Amino acid sequence: MLKNSSILITGGTGSFGNTFIPMTLEQYNPKNIIVYSRDEMKQWDMSQKYTSDKRVKFVIGDVRDKDRLARALDGIDFVVHAAATKIVPTAEYNPFECIKTNINGAMNLIDACIDSGVKRVVALSTDKASNPINLYGATKLASDKLFVAANSYADTNQTTFSVVRYGNVMGSRGSVIPFFSSLANTGELPITDQRMTRFMITLEEGVKLVWKAFDDMHGGEIYVKKIPSMTIGDIAKAVAPEAKQRIIGIRPGEKIHEQMIGFEDAPHTFEYDTYYKILPAIHSWSSDPLRINGGKKVNDDFIYTSDNNTEWMSVEELREWITQNKSKIGRI
C-alpha cells in the first residue's frame, strides 16, 4: 500500500520517526517521506543521515498552524501523526500548551487532511489515554476521539482515520531505561513504587503496528499491540543489578499500573493473533464485518492492564535487549 506513495509524518524527528523512516524506506520504497516538525536543529541533525536519499524531505511547521499543515499536505497520500506534548510532568505544569498541541493540533490535522484529500491517517496514541488520570492522557483520549469521529465525514470525502495505541517504548529518549542507565554507576536507582508495572514495546514493533493499521483500516479503529509487562523493580535490576533501589514515591500524574483497554471498551473490542482492535461505538461501526475482519469478540468484562497481562518480560530478556541495542538507548 505504501509503495511509491507520498507519506508525511508529524513530529517526525522524534523517536518514532527516527525508526519509522528507515524501516519504511527499506520495506516499501515510497516516493517520498515528508518530515514535518517545529525543531529546526533536530531536522538539521536528522537530514545529515539522508543527504544522498532524495526521498526524504523536511518541512518546518507546527501542528498548531493549520495553514502550514495545508501547505505541507499538498500531494500527500498517507499521514502518521506522531507530534505531541508527551512528558507527563511537563503537561501537568503547562496544561494550556499541552492542549494546544495534542487537541487543537489534532483538530487542525484532521481538517487539513480532509481538505487536502489525504487517503489514510494513523494517529499515535498511548496507554495513558485509557482511563486517564493525568492531563497528557486526557488530551490523548480527546485526540483519539477526534480521529475516530472524523470518519463521520466519510460520505463526503475520501480520508479515513485510525489510531494506534501502545505503551512504554523501550530505550526511547526520556524513558526509564536510559534514565536508569545514566545513574547505574552511582550505585542507587530511584524507584517510584515496587508494585508499579509498565507495558514494554520496541519502536520496531510500533512501526509494524502502524503498517498493519494502514493496511487493515476502514476508519475509526484503535489498534492495540499485545506486548509484555515488567515491574519497575525488574527494569532496574536489568539495567543495574548491583544498584540499591530507593523508593521515592509516585510523581504527579503517574499510575501504579497502565491500562490500554478498559472494560468500558470491551463490548466493542476484538482480538487477533498479535493485537486487539477497539471499534467505534458510534454509527454501529463496532458491528461492521469489514472492520471486524475475522476478529474474536472479547468478554464483556475484559480489561487489558500492565498488571493483569498474561505476557511478562523477564530481567534476562530485557538485559539481552539492552546489550543488543546499547548504542541506540537514549538516542532514539
Taking the CA atoms of residue 30, residue 67, residue 44 and residue 22 in that order, the dihedral angle to the nearest 10 degrees is -20
Count of residues for the chain? 332
Q: Report the candidate in 250, 82, 94, 248 with the shortest Cα–Cα distance to residue 169.
A: 82
User: What span, in angstroms and rounded, lies between the C-alpha atoms of 196 and 233?
Assistant: 8
Q: HSE of 148 in the Cβ direction (CA atoms, 13 Å)? A: 24
* DSSP assignments along 159-211, one per residue: -EEEEEEE-EETT-TTSHHHHHHHHGGGTEEEES-TT-EEEEE-HHHHHHHHH
3-state secondary structure at position 110? helix
Instruction: Give catalytic status of residue 128 as yes or no.
Output: yes
Which distant-in-sequence residues (6+ apart) come within 8 Å of 201 by Cβ?
Answer: 166, 167, 168, 169, 170, 225, 227
Spatial contact of 246 and 293, defined as CB atoms under 8 Å apart: no
Q: Which of 1, 172, 9 is nearest to 83 (CA)?
A: 9
Residues 42, 86, 128, 140: which is the catalytic one? 128
CA–CA gap between residue 284 and residue 268 (Å, rounded): 10
Point out the residues that are catalytic.
128
